[in-house]
Structure 1
Amino acid sequence: MDNDSALAAFAALSQSTRLDVFRLLVKAGGGGMSAGDISDTLNVRQNTMSANLSVLARSGLIRSQREGRTIRYFADMDGMRGLLGFLMEDCCGGRPELCQPVLNELGCACEATPSDLKA
C-alpha cells in the first residue's frame, strides 16, 4: 500500500457512518450484508448509504458482489490488512519481522470468498 491509498482509506473511515458501515461489515463476516440491510441496521437513507458505500469501495476497504437485483457488501480484509501493514511497515526499529505476529493475529479464519458463498 502506498501513501495515497492509505490516505484514501483513512479519509473513508473518518466519517461516522462509513466507519459504522465498515465495522458492521467486519462483524458480518464472510456472509456480508445487502445494501438495504446495512441501511436498515444503521438507520440511514438508502441514497445516502449508496454514496457512503461507494467511498468505502473506492478506498479498497469493502467489496461488493451482485446477487440478482441486490448488491451484497463485504469488508475487504485484504484491504484492511494492507492498511494495517502500511502503518506497521517501519515498526520495531527497522525489524518488521518482530511485528509479523501482530499482523498474523489479524487474519480471520471466518473470511469467505465470493466463490465460497455460491457453494
Structure 2
Amino acid sequence: MDKSSALVALAALGQETRLDVFRLLVRAGAEGLPAGEIAARLGAVQNTLSAHLKILDHAGLVTAERQGRSILYRADFTGVRDLLAFLMEDCCAGSPELCQPVIEAITCHC
C-alpha cells in the first residue's frame, strides 16, 4: 500500500458511521451482511448508508457482491492487512520485540 491509498483508507474510517459499518462487517466475518441489514442494525438511512459503503469500498476496506436484488458487503481483510502493514512498516527501528504487544492485540483469538 502506498501513502495515498493509506490516506484514503484512514479518511474513510475517520467518520463515525463508516467506522461503525466497518466494525460491524469485521464482526460479521466472511459471511458479510446485506446493505438493508447493516442499515437496520445501525439505525441508518439507506441512502446515506449507500454513500458510506461506496466510500469504504473505494478505500479498499469493504467488498460488495450482488446477490439477487440485494448487495452483500464484507470487510476486505486484504485491504485491512495492507493498511496495518503500511502503518507498521518501520515499526520499532529494528527491534521487533517492541512490536509484539501490537501484534498480539490485533491477532484474532477466535
Task: Mark yes or no: TM-score above 0.5.
Answer: yes
Compute the RMSD of aligned alpha carbons. Answer: 2.2
Corresponding pairs, count: 110
Any stretches of 5+ residues in structure 1 without a counterpart?
Answer: 111-119
**CA 1:59 to 1:2, structure 2 compared with 1: closer, same or farther past 3 Å?**
same
**Residue pair 1:89, 1:96 contacting (<8 A) in 2 also:** no
Whole-angstrom CA distance in 2 between matches of 1:51 and 1:71: 14
**Residue pair 1:18, 1:53 contacting (<8 A) in 2 also:** yes
Q: What are the within-5 Å matches in structure 2 for residues 35-114 of structure 1?
A: 35-94=35-94, 99=99, 106=106
**Residue pair 1:90, 1:96 contacting (<8 A) in 2 also:** no
Any stretches of 5+ residues in structure 2 without a counterpart?
Answer: none
**CA 1:69 to 1:108, structure 2 compared with 1: closer, same or farther past 3 Å?**
farther
Aligned to 1:19: 19
Whole-angstrom CA distance in 2 between matches of 1:2 and 1:50: 26
The runs of 4+ residues in structure 1 deviating greater than 3 Å are 94-110
- State the TM-score, normalizing by the size of structure 2: 0.87
Indicate the SS of the match to 1:71.
strand
- Measure how far apart 1:101 and its partner are: 9.1
- Measure how far apart 1:98 and its partner are: 7.3
Whole-angstrom CA distance in 2 between matches of 1:14 and 1:101: 24
Summarize deviations over 1:29-71 as a string: whole Å, max 9, x none: 1110000000010001100000000000000000011101110
Indicate the SS of the match to 1:65.
strand
- State the TM-score, normalizing by the size of structure 1: 0.81
Aligned to 1:114: none
Whole-angstrom CA distance in 1 between matches of 2:96 and 2:78: 19
